[in-house]
Amino acid sequence: MTREQKNGMLRSIATDCRFTSGYTGKTAISPRVMEAMATVPREEFVPHQLRQLAYENSPLPIGEGQTISQPFIVALMTDLLCPDKDDVMLEIGAGSGYQAAVLSRLIRKLYTIEVVPALAERADRLLKRLGCDNVEIRQGDGYQGWPEHAPYDGIIVTAAAEHVPPPLKEQLKPGGRLVIPVGRPHGAQDLLLVTRERDGSFSSRSILPVAFVPFTRTGEDKP
Ligand code: SAH
C-alpha cells in the first residue's frame, strides 16, 4: 500500500470534516486522532480482494452482511469521544476491528463486543496479530453493555439502534461520552453525542445524518 494512498485518505477526511462543519461544529479532527488514522493499516481489515480500495474514504463490505465504516466517520466518532491516554472505553459492534484498532491507540484499554461469531473471531485474531494488546473482545449482543468493567470514559456504538440502550448510558462515568447512530434500520439515522454530566444527568446533541448497518438484538431479554 503506498504512502500516497494513505495520504489521500487523510486529505479526504480533512475535506469531509470541513464540508460537514456546519452540522458538527468541527472544522478539523484533532492531530492525535489523525495520527492514529495514519498509523493503523486499514488494508488488513478489508477482504483481500478489496485491498486496493482500502484507503478510499468509503465504507466497504466485510462479509456477513456487515461493513467497515467510512474512514471519515471513524475519525469523527473517535474525535467526539475526546480520547485520553488513561481512558477505558467500550465499543459495541467490533466488526472488522478497525475502529477498535484506531481507538485503542489513543486510550489505556478498550473492551469491544461483536454479535456475529465469525466476525468476533476474525477481529480477535487480527487485533492480536497487529499487537493491539489493550483490546479485549467478546462475542454477544452488546445491548446490555459490559457491566463488569464499567463505568467507562467513553462508549462507541457502530451499528444504528432505534433508541439509546439505557444500560449503556448507565455504564458511563460522569463526564463520559457516548457516540451512537440512532434511527430506522435502513432509513434516516442521526449520529448522537450523549454526555453524562458531572451531576449525573444526561445531555444529548445531534451531530450528523449517517447510514449504519442495523443494531441487531439476540439477547434473551430482547423486547
Ligand atoms: N466498528 C466496525 C464497524 C462494523 S459494522 C469496524 O470498524 O469494522 C457494525 C457491527 O456491529 C457489525 O459487525 C454488526 O454485526 C455489529 N452489531 C450489530 N448489532 C450488534 C449488537 N447488538 N451487539 C454487538 N454487535 C452488534
pLDDT one digit per residue (tens) for the chain, 223 residues:
688 999 999 999 999 999 999 999 999 999 999 999 999 999 999 999 999 999 999 999 999 999 999 999 999 999 999 999 999 999 999 999 999 999 999 999 999 999 999 999 999 999 999 999 999 999 999 999 999 999 999 999 999 999 999 999 999 999 999 999 999 888 899 999 999 999 999 999 999 999 999 999 986 555 5
User: For ligand 1, is residue 208 a contact (CB within 6 Å)?
Assistant: no
Would you say residue 221 lies in a domain?
no
User: For ligand 1, is residue 114 a contact (CB within 6 Å)?
Assistant: yes
Would you say residue 218 lies in a domain?
no
Q: Give the CATH number, domain containing residue 10.
A: 3.40.50.150
Would you say residue 40 lies in a domain?
yes
69 φ, ψ to 5°? Answer: -70, 160
C-alpha distance from residue 222 to each of 65, 191, 219 (Å): 21, 23, 5
Note the residue count of the chain.
223
- Find residue 210's DSSP bridge partners: 189
Catalytic residue, chosen from 69, 96, 201, 203, is 69
For residue 96, the enclosing domain spans: 3-210
Q: Which grid coordinates are listed for 216?
A: 441487531
Specify the pLDDT at position 2.
Answer: 80
Residue 123 Cα: closest atom of ligand 1: 8
Instruction: Give the other-Cβ count within 10 Å of 18's Cβ.
Output: 11
Would you say residue 220 lies in a domain?
no
Would you say residue 216 lies in a domain?
no
> Cα 180 vs. chain centroid, distance in angstroms?
9
* 104: Cβ contacts below 8 Å, ≥ 6 apart: 110, 127, 132, 134, 135
Residue linked to cell 443494531: 215
Q: Whose CA is nearest to atom 2 of ligand 1?
A: 95
Continuous segment of H or E residues that includes residue 8: helix 3-19
Specify the pLDDT at position 222.
Answer: 57
Would you say residue 84 lies in a domain?
yes
| Ligand 1 binding pocket mutation candidate from 74, 132, 155, 213 (most atoms within 8 A of CB) | 213
Q: Whose CA is nearest to atom 26 of ligand 1?
A: 93
Active site residue 201: no
Would you say residue 70 lies in a domain?
yes
Specify the pLDDT at position 1.
Answer: 66
Report whether 148 contacts 113 (CB < 8 A).
no
Residue 45 Cα: closest atom of ligand 1: 8
Specify the pLDDT at position 113.
Answer: 98
Specify the pLDDT at position 221.
Answer: 57
Q: How many independent structural domains does the chain possess?
A: 1
Would you say residue 219 lies in a domain?
no
